[in-house]
Each structure stands twice: as structure tokens, then as C-alpha cells.
Structure 1
């Protein structure tokens, strides 16, 4: 028996079930098929400039920083400026996302490399699937386009998101993920990033970069 089978067997034993009960399986399949919505807070039910302003407020409250640009072509220079202003190396790792690779990085002095991080990268840039205004969160889907390692290993993570992809609430983004990938071929992971990694476990002292990047900078493209 594998470790996975053992864990599931222990869960079934504690619940007093075998896992093949017809009614229980029907209930589970119906829930997966319908994907019922959870509670949707009123805070995010705004649109247009008000939604973008809410996203900024929430992102900055979570200790992220944010810049808005009018076109994707402006992103490389914004990234270069961010790294320079924080006295960071002019190096950058990204995945294979064509929205990123198609940007004019050659107009900067940045040294850009592609592929997953092995843990030695200081800076990374990714493109978010979307954003959520109610919490200022970025939604990252895994894959070679935007490797999940870039969400956790580099000290500084720059995340690009299109303004049109910023929704008011979580449920709207989950619907977009299901529509884009299909329930039978969902991405391996969907990471929700709200500001830099932080922990206050030791004497309630806030520590940035505890389990991931110590800086998260969001670039919103308003095209």
C-alpha cells in the first residue's frame, strides 16, 4: 500500500465509509459538476476604475507595490527601474509565456534567462492569469509559461497582470480558470499570491520572505 492509499484508508476508516457508496459518490460528482459558488463579499462588487483602485489598495495593504502602464511594451523598462531603485542585480528569470517573451527586453540592460528556478535566482517575472480586487491577490496557474518555482524561490517577484483580467471576486476567477482549461485538464496548481511572503510566528514579529519572495511588485497593463 502506498502512502497515499494509507492516508485515504485512514480517512475512510475514521468516517466509517468504504469509498464506494453510491449516494456519497453521486453527491461528490454533482458538486464537482456544478462547482457551487462560495460566499461572495460585497467589497469586490465594483467595476472599472473603482475596481482597479480597490485592487491597488488591497495589494498595497498586503505590502505589495504596484505600477500601472498603458501598454505591454513599457513593462521591461519598469522592471529595470524597479530593480535599479532597489539596488538589485540586473538579472531576471521568466518562463515561456509569450506575453512576456514578446516584450522588448532587448531595449534594457537586463540579463534575461528562461525556465524554472533552481533556487539561485534573485529576481523573477511572471504573468498572472488574473487578479482579484477584493483582496489584491494575483492568480498564477502552473506550467512552462509561468513555472510555479518562480512564485516561491526568488527573493523578488515581479508579476504582470492585464487590467482587463482583474475581477472583483474569487469565484469569477475560478470560473475563468475552469473555462480556460476545462475540468478534465485543470492546471496542476493554482497559486493565489497576496503580497510578499511573511510570518509572525516568532514573538509576533513580522518577517518578510519567510516562505517565498520578500518583495512582490505588481505591474498592471491597462491596454
Structure 2
């Protein structure tokens, strides 16, 4: 008996061949949040994972905020790798910082990405891959810097992916990297080790 004949017999024996339409269930109201509440919950969840979160009032303040944050963490202000045109035009020289354009290289120590959204319930960042935001920026350098617009911090992943679909005309980019802290693993001697598979440190700047 052919495959099609078998499937036809199964369909004929099914008393309810038409499955009811699937309806997406909304996220629990206790998780959904917007505005200042979402920002606060995101900060709390991210900091619990060892992420440093910095609030700034305007994107133009980002270079100086990065310089101060790196200094406070005793990190060298090496050239910062980035490729987002919106970030390239910021006043980096005023903060005595230099930038390098393009995808990250193995020797890069610092990289700056732009997140398209952030999720308060887990303290996670969503980074969409593309020419302006190569995925290598999030994985190769020792220290990863991420900027996120306050208005794109939402309560749940459902809300975050709704933002993504709106931004990408009801589609999605080739890859969406979800980052919830610095790289860490327990595979090495049963001890938690940071930086084994990616950045040792993650700094988030909310604009």
C-alpha cells in the first residue's frame, strides 16, 4: 500500500479531520511590563547575572559613559570594534577613545553592539545580525559593550519578538542572538569559568 493510500485511510478514519486553529496565548499579565517598570526589572535581572548596567540620558553621552565605565573596571580603553553607522558618528575623540569599523577580529579586546530589544523577565538582550551589527562583535572580544534604547526594553520574549517583526516588516533577520550575561561554563573541572566561549564581561548602556 502506498504512502498516500495509508494517509488517506488515516484521514478518512479521523472523526474530526479539521484541527482547530491555533491561537497564541498572551504572556501572563504578571510578566508583561513597559516603561520604567520594564527597565527596572531588566536591570535587576541583568545585574543578578553579573552584568554592569549604566543609564545615560542621551546617545551622545555614550563615549564618555563607556570611558568612565572601563576606567572604573580597570580595563584598558583599547580600540573599540563596531560597525553601526548610528554609533560611528558619536564624539569618541572627546572621550579619548578610538574605534575600528567592521566585524570583530580574534585580537579585538572591546566591541560595541546595538541591541534591538531587551527582555525584563530574564535580563536578556536580543541582537539582530546584519552588516551594521555583525554577530562576531558579541562573541570574539574579551569585553562586550551593548547599547539598548530604553523604549525597546519590554517585559517578555513575546513582546520582544513582536518588536522584531515590526522592525523587519513581519519577518526576522538571518540570526537573532539572545545574550543573558557574559560567557560562562562549568565544563572545566566542574568550576564556573567566565570567558571560555565568549566575552568575560558584559556592559549594557541604556539610552
TM-score (structure 1 length as normaliser): 0.77
Partners of 1:212 and 1:193 in 2: CA distance: 11
For 2:177, what is the secondary structure of its paired residue?
strand
From the superposition, tell whether residues 35 and 61 of structure 1 become closer, same or farther in structure 2 (CA, over 3 Å): farther
Structure 2: give runs of 5+ residues left out of the alignment.
8-20
Q: Following superposition, which runs of at least 4 residues in structure 1 exceed 6 angstroms of deviation? A: none
- More helix per residue: 1
Asked if structure 1 preserves the Cα contact closer than 8 Å seen for 2:52 and 2:202, the reply is yes
Offset of 1:111 from its aligned partner?
Answer: 1.7
Q: CA RMSD, aligned part only?
A: 2.4
Partners of 2:38 and 2:94 in 1: CA distance: 32
After superposition, give the CA deviation of every residue in 1:183-223 in whole Å (9 maximum; x if it has no partner): 55x311100010101111234311111211110000001xx
1:129 aligns with 2:144: no
Match of 2:174 in 1: 188
Match of 1:204 in 2: 190
After superposition, give the CA deviation of every residue in 1:26-51 in whole Å (9 maximum; x if it has no partner): xxxxxxxx996477355532233221
* Aligned residue pair count: 190
After superposition, give the CA deviation of every residue in 1:169-188 in whole Å (9 maximum; x if it has no partner): 1011111212221355x311
Asked if structure 1 preserves the Cα contact closer than 8 Å seen for 2:33 and 2:154, the reply is no
Match of 2:54 in 1: 67
From the superposition, tell whether residues 128 and 35 of structure 1 become closer, same or farther in structure 2 (CA, over 3 Å): farther
Match of 1:149 in 2: 136
1:104 aligns with 2:77: no
Match of 1:47 in 2: 34
Offset of 1:70 from its aligned partner?
Answer: 0.7
Offset of 1:153 from its aligned partner?
Answer: 0.2
Match of 2:12 in 1: none
For 1:49, what is the secondary structure of its paired residue?
helix
Q: Whose Rg is larger?
A: 2
